[in-house]
Amino acid sequence: MFGIPCRASLPSGDQTLQSKEEKLEPIMQMDNQITPKKVRSFCSFRYGLSLLLHLCNVALMAQNMCLNLTMVIMVNSTGPHSLPNTSTEEHLENIKNPVYNWSPKIQGIIFSSIFYGVLITQIPVGYLSEKYSIKKMIGFSLFLSSLLSLLMPMAAEGGAAFLLACRVAQGVAQGSALISQHMIWVKWAPPLERGRLTTLSLSGNLLGSFIVLLVTGFICQSLGWPMVFYIFGACGCALSLLWFVLFYDDPKDHPCISISEKEYILSCLNQQVSSSTQSLPIKAMIKSLPFWAIAFGSFAFHWTNTIMVLYTPTFIKAKLHVNIKENGLLSALPYLFAWSFGILVGHLTDFFLSRNILRLITIQKLFNTLGLLLPAFFSLCLLYLSSSIYSMTIFLILASSTGSFCMGGVLINGLDIAPSFYGFLKGVTAIIGMIGRLISSTLCGVILNQDPESAWFKIFILMAVIDVLCLLFCLVFGKADIQDWAKGNQEHTRL
């Protein structure tokens, strides 16, 4: 009578309910079908944000690593190590490249000092990144790290103690930026694009390593080693200013993002829980085997990555006997490939998910296997199958670059099992990874000092054992769905 189709056999209440469902169903279908079509543009603001964060990571990693190569020129290897810190100005070359008498022990302490600065920030910053402005945390941290980079030559002139303090402070700044940035994607990354967005931003660390290893030798020989710190410090300051202008903590507050993109991101993430209203489930987290799978995977990744980052120049010098310029070039090549692999992993992850080819847990276990087994395998090949400089270069590149497959696994797995507490979880697992980094760097130095002849065999065998054991734990206990202790009152959107 009123022109509304209904079934006579249903009561009026059921008729009303069915009518509402019939009206809402087309709207829900339209929302599910139309909205995702607006995502597939690499010109969108969220991809520009990922690229900006990529460049910030380039600057941070360049500032972190440049001392690894400049130390070769900064230290007078022929001078007596027992003398206090002095600068030799007998020749014009020594004016451009000041030289200091630092013993290998002091050099090792300076190298590792930045790790201690990073170490103490992981858990506090991870927790605070869930509560406070990511824009300010990353912007000020990047600016402070860049300012300290500009002051590094002056600190070296003042003595090893000043340089050590400067490096620790820089580690605090860099650790704050590197750990807090992971919370960006809780609000900015739609579930089916997390692979691409996170790996694009994180791969900046690899590109930064490539750039600093490639150009540091040339800058040192042409302009002097202090210019290395000035150049990367100035670039970081400029990027920090750009960051303050372009980034906002929440897409709904950004004045430049398009309305369609804003609505798409918010609609994809509207079911996520905010940790600001929840207490940390520390006991449940400690009892969680998926959490420990991430922790052990992070430990193995950082153990392997640290050996390849810190000791690749040493390995090349010992085996190939090249100068600093050639050493820098050979040390840089693996990071170019690692950077490419890292971006490829993100695209493959999202491709497999969007096409329903593989489940997320299968994808992550696949990339964990590749990222932990391949570096160990190619490192052993480096010892036994390197009959020429060409084969040695190939195995060195593969051993150093294939670890980036972990970007599709343990390095972002926390965003899937506990998005509400991702900052804190990332801080804890990063601490465990940093412990592996500190142990491996120290232990490798001891092995090389005690037994130079068979040192590399021991280092690579130990690395392979740790990688295999941690991988087995990840494969058995790793998960990719949100855990009960992290759910709160709502469910997560990514399976």
Residuewise pLDDT in 10s, the chain (495 residues): 334 334 334 344 444 444 444 444 444 444 444 444 444 556 788 888 999 999 999 999 999 988 877 887 888 654 444 444 544 444 555 666 788 888 777 887 888 788 888 888 888 888 888 788 889 999 999 999 999 999 999 999 888 899 999 999 999 999 999 888 888 888 888 888 888 888 889 899 889 988 887 888 788 888 888 999 999 999 999 999 999 999 988 888 888 888 888 888 888 776 554 555 567 888 888 999 999 999 999 999 999 988 887 777 777 777 776 666 676 677 778 889 999 999 999 889 988 988 889 998 999 999 999 999 999 999 888 888 777 778 888 888 899 889 999 998 898 888 889 888 888 888 899 889 888 888 888 888 788 877 777 788 888 999 999 999 999 999 999 998 888 888 764 444 443
Provide the pLDDT for residue 463.
Answer: 93
d(CA 354, CA 346): 12
Among candidate residues 304, 441, 471, the one with its CA nearest the CA of residue 375:
304
Helical H segments across 189-323, by residue range: 194-202, 204-222, 226-246, 259-269, 282-287, 289-320
Rounded Cα gap, residues 373 and 381, in angstroms: 12
Q: What radius of gyration do the chain's Cα atoms show?
A: 25
Dist. CA 451–CA 205, nearest whole Å: 32
Sequence-distant (≥ 6) Cβ neighbours of residue 14 within 8 angstroms? none
The backbone torsions φ and ψ at residue 100, rounded to the nearest 5 degrees and listed phi first, read -125, 150
How much is the pLDDT for 467? 95
Helix axes 259-269, 45-74, angle to 10 degrees: 80
